[in-house]
Amino acid sequence: MRNFSRRLIIHYVKSIVITSGKGGVGKTTVTAYLGRALASLGSRVALLDADFGLNNLDVALGLEARVTYDIADVIENRCRVRQALLETDVRNLYLLPSAHGYLGEHVTAQNLRLVLNSLAVTFDYTLVDCPAGIEAGFNRAVGACDGAIVVTTPHISALRDANKVIALLCSYGKQPTLVINRVRGDLLAGGKIPGREDIERVLKVRVDGMIPETDGVYGSVGMPQAPFEQLARRIHFGTGEPLDLAADYRGFFGRLRNKFKKNGGAK
C-alpha cells in the first residue's frame, strides 16, 4: 500500500511534472494557471511544455506567434535556454515552448534534466506540462523532475486512470499529490460525485486543489482565480486547505441555488 501522509513537501521541490492519466482533464490549463498564481506570490516560475505530440501551452498563454526557439533548439545546442524563454504577461512567469516536429533520440530524461538544471539557476519553480497517459513521453518527463502533480476529474474513469499514474509515479520514488479539476459544487453537495476525503482515502494520496467546473477559457474573466491561488499557497507555503466547492450549495439558500441551477436559471 502506498504511504499516504498529509505532510506538505512539494514547496521544497524545484521541478514539478504535471500529468494525468487521460487527456481532456485540463492538465495544460492547470499548469498555466498554477504558474500564474505562483508568480503572483513573488516566485520566479518557468513553464516547460514537454508534450511534444499535442503541445499547446504556448497557445494557452497566447504566445504562439512569438515562438522563435523551442526546447529542441536548446537540446540540440542551436540556442541557449535564456534565448528560448518567452516572457508572459505576468511578471516572473516565463515559457520554454515545446518542439514542433520529431526530435528522435535527442529527447531523453537526461537531456530534460540538464535543461531543468539550467532553469533552476534562475527560477524557483519549473512546471513541466507532461503528455497524458503512461507512454514514453510520460516516463521521460517524470524521470527528469523532482515532484509530481496528477490532474484528474471526479469521475470514475478518470480516477481509475489517475490511480494507475500514481502507482507508476510511486515506482519512480515520487509521492504525487492530486488536483481535482472540473468539480461541480451542486453534485458534490448532493453526494453524486466523490469528495476530497473520499478520493484521498481510496487513492492514498493528498488532494492539494479542487478546481470548479467553469465555462471560462484560459485568459478569460470566466476562469476562477481563487482555487489556483489557494493551490499555489499550499504548494509554496504548505498552508491552507483546498476550497470547499460544495459550500454554496448547502443550507436553505444553497438549496434554492441548486434548484435554480437545475431549472436552467431565469427565463
HEC string for 169-234: HHHCCCCCEEEEEEECHHHHHCCCCCCHHHHHHHHCCCEEEEEECCCCCCCCCCCCCHHHHHHHHH
Owner of C-alpha cell 487513492: 203
What is the C-alpha to C-alpha distance for residues 57 and 42, in angstroms, rounded to an integer?
22
How far apart CA 232 and CA 245 sit, in angstroms, is 17
pLDDT tens-digit series, residues 15-29:
999 999 888 899 999
Are the C-beta atoms of 127 and 48 separated by less than 8 Å?
A: yes
φ, ψ (nearest 5 deg) of residue 42: 105, 0
* DSSP designation for 26: S
Chain-centre distance for alpha carbon 110: 22
Please enumerate, as own/partner, the contacts of 251-257 that have beta carbons within 8 Å and a separation of 24 or more.
Answer: 254/189, 257/186
- Stretch (H or E) spanning 116: helix 109-120
In whole angstroms, give the CA distance from residue 227 to residue 29. Answer: 13
Beta bridge partners of residue 126, listed in sequence order: 15, 46
- Reported as a single tens digit per residue, the pLDDT across 72-81 is 889 889 999 9
d(CA 70, CA 141): 16
Q: What's the chain's average pLDDT? A: 85
Q: Is 264 left (phi over 0), alpha (psi -120 to 50) or beta?
A: left
Give the number of other Cβ atoms within 10 Å of residue 248's Cβ.
15
What would the pLDDT profile of 105-141 be if each residue is shown by its tens digit?
567 888 899 999 999 999 999 999 998 888 878 888 8
pTM: 0.86
- The predicted structure's pLDDT at residue 1: 43
Per-residue pLDDT tens for 27-74? 999 999 999 999 999 999 999 998 877 788 999 999 999 999 999 889
With vertex at residue 119, the alpha carbon angle to CA 117 and CA 125, rounded to the nearest 5 degrees, is: 105
Q: What sign has the CA pseudo-torsion 184, 204, 127, 159?
A: negative
Q: Report the pLDDT averaged over residues 95-99.
A: 90
CB-CB contact of 38 with 31 (8 Å): no
Distance of alpha carbon 223 from alpha carbon 59, whole angstroms: 16
pLDDT of residue 259: 56
Please give the grid coordinates belonging to residue 161.
486512470
For the chain, how are helix, strand and coil distributed in percent, rounded to 5? 40, 15, 45
Q: Are 208 and 149 in contact (CB under 8 A)?
A: yes
Mean pLDDT of 82-91: 95
